[in-house]
Amino acid sequence: MMVEPDPQQLTKPQSHRRFVLVTGPSGAGRSSALNVLEDAGFEAIDNLPLRLLPALLDGGGQERSVALGIDARNRDFSTNAVLDLMSQLSVRDDLSAELLYLDCSTEVLLRRFSETRRRHPLAPADRPAEGIEREQTLLRSLRKHADVLIDTSELNVHQLRAEVEHWFAPQGVHHLSVSVQSFSYKRGLPRSVDMVFDCRFLRNPYWEPGLRKLDGTDKKVADYVGEDARFAPFAKQVFELSQLVLPACQQEGKSHVSIAFGCTGGQHRSVTLAQEHALRLAEQGWQVSIRHRELDRQRSYGASS
């Protein structure tokens, strides 16, 4: 369940820089919400002492939006201090300050603490029910002043992500970053890649004396590889697969996907495919970075020699 913010908050001019204070009872999903905000481009910080926040917000050269998670464990926590802070920030012209409150029913909180076997921060010994009741009473005034209130009682992590993104991600869209890289099978697969494509069936520029010392970023090499009759259909099907998989990864809540192309030496065919694939993804609006593992390694060795 989601409670709409105050209509006056909706008419307030939005600064390009936002400050979101995330709070609510322990176990309601504060850490998960901070992860979502971090993926959306916020600088996410958990339980920073309130007295340090002004220095953080006013630090020189800081233009990123900030999300601060806070709960009763915070060293200088008090509801009055939080409300005073939000009141001070609300009058600033360079900042749009919002209070996100994550609520949850007592029954669900009890179940979550039972399942994780975690001790409630305000509970004596092993009696989480008392800690939950004490914390809900303590946070009651913050709940009343929330700009956005999300009840997580019946939400899974994916639904919670969607709710937080709806309010705080640019245009309500979660950004997925895509890395495309080339590599040599001689040196093994790159770590932590999601999809790997073998390019060794394409004709190899290495056997052309005029191309051997060049690499796949060179147009001569790219044209040579592209003349292979199998190149175009292979590149097309890999791109179509990416168009199918990437939106699904985005919907699932992933923040990063890595795609790798490999060939024998990691210099010609894989580089050409990685370059071509990264360009096509970028043209479709994906946030893409590219890395050529073996070329980067050669350049670093050359610079150190």
pLDDT digits (tens, 9 = 90+) for 193-242: 899 999 999 999 999 999 999 999 999 999 999 999 999 999 999 999 99
Domain 2-172: give its CATH superfamily: P-loop containing nucleotide triphosphate hydrolases (3.40.50.300)
| Residue matched to tokens 């147009």 | 219
Kindly tell me if the per-residue pLDDT of 7 is higher than 50: no
Mean pLDDT, the chain, whole residue set: 84
Going by C-alpha positions, the residue among 136, 212, 172 that lies closest to residue 40 is 172
| SS3 assignment, position 197 | strand
- What single-letter amino acid sits at 254? K
| DSSP conformation letters of 40-83 | TT-EEEES--GGGHHHHHT-TT--S-EEEE--TTSTT--HHHHH
Q: What is the pLDDT of residue 13?
A: 43
Residues contacting 149, CB < 8 A, separation 6+: 2, 3, 100, 101, 103, 143
How confident is the model at residue 199, as a pLDDT?
97
* Positions of E strands within 246-300: 256-263, 287-292
> Of 69, 83, 73, which Cα lies nearest the Cα of 135?
73
Average pLDDT estimate for 163-184? 79
Domain ranges of the chain: 2-172, 177-304
Average pLDDT over residues 26-46: 88
**Model pLDDT, residue 99:** 92
95-112 mean pLDDT? 87
**What value does the mean pLDDT take over residues 162-167?**
83
Other CB atoms within a 10 A radius of the CB of residue 209 amount to: 7
